[in-house]
Copies of this chain bind each other. A is one copy, B any other.
Amino acid sequence: MPGRESSIDTIQRELTAFARRARHKASQLHPDLSLVTYSILDLITERGGCRAADVAAHFMLDKSTVSRQVTALEKLGLLRREADPDDQRGQILRATEAGLTLLRDANEQRRIAFTARLSDWSDEDIARFADYLTRYGAEG
Contacts and interface: CB of A to CB of B under 8 A. Distances in A.
As for how many copies of this chain the complex holds, the number is 2
Contact size range, A: 35 or more
A21 B59 CA distance: 6
A22 interface: yes
A16 B39 contact: yes
A21 B139 CA distance: 13
A129 B136 contact: yes
Given A20-B39, A126-B11, A5 B111 contact: yes
A2 B139 contact: no
Given A18-B18, A20-B39, 13 more contacts: A1-B124, A1-B127, A5-B115, A8-B111, A9-B107, A10-B133, A10-B134, A11-B126, A17-B137, A19-B19, A20-B60, A118-B139, A128-B128
